[in-house]
C-alpha cells in the first residue's frame, strides 16, 4: 500500500495569496479555518496545479495570478507553489514556478513582455516538463489521484465514466457463466454468431417492427386487390372491333399514297430545271471572275520603289535611336564617376581632420606620476605607459594614412575613367548626325516618288463597264431568267385530317388490345389475395416467436444487472449504486446513480454527500493500494466522519476568521 501524506504547502502570488505557508501537516486530520472567500478552496487548486498544472475542475488555461485593486491581473510577478510529501515516510519535495519572460529589443528603451515559462523542480533538482510529469506519474496516475483526494470528484464525472470506474472495481459477471446457468440462455448463446447480445437484440426489435408493420398493412392490400378486379368483358366483340378499325386504317393509307405521288411528279420536273439553271450559273460565274481579274490589271500601280525607300528609312531610324541610347549611357557613366569622386573627396577631408586630431594628442605624464614621500617631488616611476601611448598613437595614424592612400588611389582611378569616357563621346555624336542626314534624304526621295505616281482608276467602275460590254454574259442572264419562269409551285396536299383519323384509330386499337390482355387479371388477383391471407397468419406466429426471444434477452440482462449491482455494492459500506433503470416496456437502460441511504447523492445533505465521497475514496484507495491527502470543503457541516486511512485536510467556514488559520 502506497501512503502519500502532505507535510508542507507554500503558495506565493497564487490567486488571492500573496504568500502563505503551512508547515507540519498532521498525518491524520488537519483543520484550516476562514470565512467564505478567504481562499480555502484555493489550497486544493494550488496543490493540484503543483502536481498536474490544472485546477480542481481539470482546467489548464485559467488565471492563477492575483488581481490588483482594479481587478486587473498583476504583472512582473512569479507564481510559485512548493510542497513536501511523505511517500511511505520518504520525503519528496516539488516546486512549480510560473515566470514572466521579458526581453529588451534592440533600439527600445524598455523591456518587452514575451510570454510565460514554467520552472519545475523535483527534490531540489530542476527538471523538464516531461521528466516532472513522469516522476509525478510514478507517485500516482492523475485521474486516480483526483478521485482519491476530492470527495465530490467521483460524482462530478459523467455517468458513463462513473460506471466504467465501478465496473473496473467489481468486475462484470461473464456472459459465459450466465449462458450456462439457464437452458433458455444457453439456446440464446447459440444464436449470437458473429454478433453481440446488444446487436442481436437490435436485430430482433427491427424484425418485430418490420413484421408488425407488414401484418398491419396486409388487410389494406387485400382490399386494394379486390377493388382492382375488372368486370366481365365480351372478348369476342373486342376482336371484331379491332379488325374493323384496322380496315379503316388501310383505306386511309391508300388515300395518303395517291396524294403523295401527284406532288412527286411536280417536284421531279422542277429538279430538272434547277439543274439546267445551276449549269448556266457556273458559266456566268467563270466569265465574271475573268472580268474581275482584267479590271484589277488595268487599275494596278507599281509602288515597289517607295516600299524599298520606306524600309531603308526604318533601318536609319533604328540606328539613330541606338546611337542616342549609347550617348546617354556614356553621359550617365560620367555622372556616376563624378558622384563617386565627390563622395571620396568628402571622406578624404574627414580623414585629414581625424589625422590632425589624433596627431595633436600628447602623453599625460601627470596621470602616471608619483610623489616622493620624503621630498614631495613628482616623478614618473615607469616609462612603459608613455611607450604604449606612442605605439597606439602611431598605429592609429598609420591606419588613417593607409585609408587616405586608398581613397586617393580610387579618386585617381575614377578621374582616369571620366577622361576615357569623354573621348568615347565623339563616336556616337558623329553617328547621330550621319543617321539624321540619311533620314532627311530618304524622306525627300519618298515624296519625289509619290508625286510621280499616276492617278489610280476606280476598280469597281472598270469592272462594271466590262460586264456591260460582254455579249455572252448578257445571253446567259436571259437564258437563266427563261428557265426560272418554268419552275412550277408545288402545293402540298392537306392530309392532316386523314392522319388525325389514323392516329385516333390506332389509339383505340391499342386500348382494345390492352383490355383483351386483362382476361387473366381477375384470376391472378384471387391467387394473390389467398397468398396475403396465409402470410398474415404466418406473420402472427413469427412475431410471437421473436417476442419470446426478446423476453429471454431482457431476462438475461436483468439477471446480469442484478449480479453486477450486487458485486459493486458489496465493495462499499455507506453508499449504493443503481446501475440500470427499468423502462415502461420492461427493458433496461444502463445508468449510474449514487444513492446515500437510498436517496440520490444530489438530494442528500452536505454531511451525507461528504461521507459518501469518503466511502468512495476508501474503496478506490483499497482497490488501487494507495492513500493520498483528502481535501474536505464545508467540513463544518459534518459532525462525524466515517473512518478512513487517508490524511484529512478539513476546510472549515469561520465568518470571524479574515485570513486562514491552520490548526
> What CATH number should be reported for the domain holding residue 61?
3.40.50.300
Q: Which of 424, 451, 478 is the last residue of a domain?
A: 451
What is the bridge-based pairing of β-strands 588-596 and 575-582? antiparallel
Indicate if the alpha-carbon torsion angle 281, 287, 291, 293 is positive or negative. Answer: positive
pLDDT 10s digits, 305-334: 888 888 888 898 898 899 898 888 888 998
Report pLDDT for 234. 65
Of 428, 451, 474, the domain-final residue? 451
Q: How far is CA 652 from CA 32, 37, 113, in A?
A: 6, 12, 40
Tell me how far apart the alpha carbons of residues 99 and 96 are, in angstroms, rounded to a whole number: 10
Among 46-55, 167-176, 581-590, the range of highest mean pLDDT: 46-55
Question: Would you call 273 helix, strand, or coil by DSSP?
Answer: helix
Residue 490 has pLDDT above 60, yes or no: no
Does any domain span residue 320?
Answer: yes
Per-residue pLDDT at 155: 93
C-alpha 571 chain-centroid distance: 49
Segment 144-167 mean pLDDT: 93
Are 581 and 159 contacting, i.e. CB atoms less than 8 angstroms apart? no
Say if 407 falls within a structural domain.
yes
- For 290, the enclosing helix (H) or strand (E) is helix 235-299
Strand partners, 99: 117
CATH of the domain at 309: 1.10.287
Q: Which residues contact 227 (CB under 8 A, 6 or more apart)?
A: none
pLDDT by residue (tens digit) across 622-639? 999 999 999 999 998 998
3 state SS of 34: strand
| 85-98 average pLDDT score | 95
* pTM score: 0.50
For the stretch 215-242, pLDDT in tens is: 888 988 888 888 776 666 665 677 788 8
- Distance separating alpha carbons of residues 277 and 226, to the nearest angstrom: 75
Q: Answer yes or no: is pLDDT of 387 > 70.
A: yes
**How confident is the model over 136-157, as a mean pLDDT?**
94
The C-alpha torsion from 552 through 557 and 561 to 562, rounded to 10°, is 10
What would the mean pLDDT of 247-259 be, rounded to a whole number?
A: 79
The predicted pLDDT at position 492 comes to 58
Give Cβ neighbours of residue 333 (< 8 Å, ≥ 6 apart). Answer: 417, 421
Q: How far is 325 from 423, CA to CA, in rounded Å?
A: 17
Give 391-443 pLDDT, tens digit per residue: 988 999 999 999 999 999 999 998 898 888 888 888 888 888 988 898 899 89
Name the DSSP letter for residue 581. Answer: E
Once rounded to an integer, what is the mean pLDDT over residues 193-197?
83
* Within a domain: 43: yes
Say what percent of the chain tops pLDDT 70: 91
CA-to-CA separations, 70 to 17, 18, 37, 64, in angstroms, rounded: 17, 16, 18, 16
Assess whether pLDDT exceeds 60 at residue 152. Answer: yes
Work out how many domains the chain is built from and give that number.
Answer: 2
Query: What is the arithmetic mean of pLDDT over 541-561?
Result: 85
454 falls in which pLDDT band (50, 70, 90)? Answer: low
Whether 658 is in a domain gets the answer yes
Is 73 part of any domain? yes
Structural domain contains residue 40: yes
Among 231, 233, 230, smallest CA distance to 241 is for 233
What mean pLDDT do residues 45-54 have?
A: 92
Picking from 659, 652, 581, 651, the residue whose alpha carbon sits closest to that of residue 44 is 651
Residue 375 forms part of a structural domain: yes
Range of the domain at 60: 2-158+603-662
For β-strands 125-127 and 111-122, DSSP reports them as antiparallel
Residue 612 lies in a domain: yes
Residue 93's SS3 state is strand
| Last residue in a domain, options 451, 479, 503 | 451
Is residue 259 predicted with pLDDT exceeding 70? no
Amino acid at each position: 500500500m502506497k501512503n502519500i501524506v502532505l507535510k508542507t504547502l507554500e503558495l506565493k502570488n497564487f490567486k488571492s495569496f500573496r504568500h502563505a505557508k503551512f508547515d507540519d501537516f498532521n498525518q491524520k486530520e488537519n483543520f484550516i479555518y476562514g470565512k467564505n472567500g478567504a481562499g480555502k478552496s484555493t489550497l486544493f487548486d494550488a496543490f493540484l496545479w503543483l502536481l498536474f498544472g490544472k485546477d480542481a475542475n481539470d482546467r489548464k488555461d485559467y488565471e492563477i495570478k492575483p488581481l490588483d485593486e482594479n481587478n486587473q491581473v498583476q504583472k512582473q510577478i512569479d507564481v510559485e507553489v512548493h510542497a513536501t510529501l511523505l511517500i511511505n515516510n520518504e520525503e519528496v519535495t516539488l516546486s512549480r514556478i510560473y515566470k514572466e519572460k521579458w526581453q529588451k529589443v534592440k533600439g527600445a528603451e524598455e523591456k518587452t513582455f514575451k510570454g510565460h515559462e514554467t520552472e519545475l523542480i523535483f527534490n531540489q533538482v530542476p527538471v523538464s516538463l516531461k521528466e516532472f510529469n513522469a516522476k509525478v506519474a510514478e507517485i500516482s496516475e492523475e485521474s486516480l489521484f483526483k478521485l482519491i483526494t476530492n470527495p465530490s470528484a467521483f460524482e462530478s464525472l459523467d455517468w458513463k465514466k462513473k460506471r466504467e470506474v465501478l465496473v473496473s472495481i467489481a468486475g462484470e459477471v461473464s456472459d459465459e457463466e450466465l449462458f450456462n446457468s439457464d437452458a433458455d440462455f444457453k439456446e440464446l448463446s447459440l444464436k449470437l454468431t458473429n454478433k453481440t447480445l446488444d446487436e442481436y437484440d437490435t436485430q430482433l426489435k427491427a424484425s418485430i417492427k418490420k413484421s408488425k408493420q407488414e401484418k398491419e398493412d396486409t388487410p389494406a392490400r387485400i382490399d386494394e386487390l379486390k377493388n382492382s378486379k375488372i368486370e366481365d368483358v365480351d372478348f369476342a366483340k373486342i376482336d371484331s372491333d379491332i379488325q374493323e378499325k384496322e380496315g379503316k386504317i388501310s383505306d386511309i393509307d391508300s388515300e395518303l399514297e395517291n396524294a403523295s405521288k401527284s406532288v412527286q411528279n411536280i417536284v421531279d420536273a422542277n429538279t430538272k430545271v434547277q439543274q439546267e439553271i445551276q449549269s448556266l450559273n457556273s458559266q456566268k460565274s467563270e466569265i465574271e471572275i475573268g472580268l474581275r481579274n482584267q479590271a484589277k490589271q488595268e487599275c494596278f500601280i507599281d509602288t515597289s520603289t517607295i516600299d524599298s525607300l520606306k524600309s531603308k528609312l526604318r533601318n536609319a531610324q533604328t540606328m539613330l535611336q541606338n546611337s542616342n541610347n549609347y550617348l546617354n549611357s556614356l553621359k550617365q557613366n560620367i555622372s556616376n564617376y563624378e558622384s563617386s569622386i565627390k563622395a571620396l573627396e568628402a571622406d578624404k577631408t574627414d580623414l585629414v581632420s581625424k589625422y590632425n586630431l589624433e596627431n595633436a594628442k600628447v602623453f599625460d605624464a601627470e596621470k602616471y606620476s608619483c610623489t616622493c614621500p620624503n621630498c614631495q617631488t613628482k616623478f614618473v616611476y615607469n616609462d612603459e605607459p608613455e611607450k604604449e601611448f606612442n605605439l597606439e598613437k602611431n598605429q592609429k595614424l598609420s591606419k588613417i594614412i593607409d585609408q587616405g592612400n586608398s581613397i586617393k588611389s580610387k579618386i585617381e582611378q575614377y578621374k582616369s575613367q571620366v577622361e576615357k569616357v569623354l573621348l568615347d563621346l565623339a563616336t556616337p555624336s558623329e553617328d547621330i548626325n550621319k543617321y539624321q542626314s540619311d533620314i532627311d534624304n530618304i524622306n525627300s526621295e519618298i515624296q519625289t516618288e509619290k508625286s510621280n505616281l499616276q492617278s489610280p482608276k476606280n476598280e469597281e467602275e472598270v469592272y462594271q463597264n466590262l460586264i456591260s460590254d460582254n455579249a455572252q454574259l448578257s445571253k446567259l442572264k436571259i437564258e437563266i431568267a427563261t428557265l426560272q419562269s418554268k419552275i412550277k409551285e408545288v402545293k402540298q396536299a392537306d392530309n392532316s385530317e386523314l392522319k388525325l383519323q389514323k392516329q385516333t384509330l390506332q389509339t383505340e386499337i391499342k386500348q382494345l388490345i390492352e383490355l383483351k390482355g386483362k382476361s387473366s387479371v381477375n384470376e391472378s388477383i384471387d391467387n394473390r389475395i389467398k397468398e396475403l391471407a396465409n402470410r398474415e397468419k404466418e406473420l402472427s406466429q413469427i412475431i410471437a416467436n421473436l417476442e419470446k426471444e426478446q423476453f429471454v434477452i431482457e431476462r438475461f440482462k436483468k439477471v446480469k444487472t442484478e449480479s453486477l449491482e450486487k458485486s459493486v455494492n458489496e465493495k462499499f459500506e455507506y453508499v449504493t449504486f443503481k446501475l440500470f433503470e427499468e423502462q415502461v416496456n420492461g427493458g433496461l437502460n444502463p445508468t449510474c446513480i449514487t444513492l446515500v441511504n437510498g436517496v440520490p447523492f444530489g438530494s442528500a445533505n452536505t454531511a451525507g454527500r461528504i461521507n459518501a465521497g469518503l466511502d468512495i475514496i476508501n474503496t478506490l484507495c483499497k482497490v488501487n493500494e494507495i492513500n493520498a491527502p483528502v481535501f474536505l470543503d464545508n467540513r463544518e457541516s459534518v459532525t462525524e466522519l466515517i473512518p478512513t486511512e487517508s490524511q484529512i485536510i478539513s476546510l472549515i467556514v469561520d465568518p470571524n476568521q479574515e485570513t486562514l488559520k491552520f490548526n
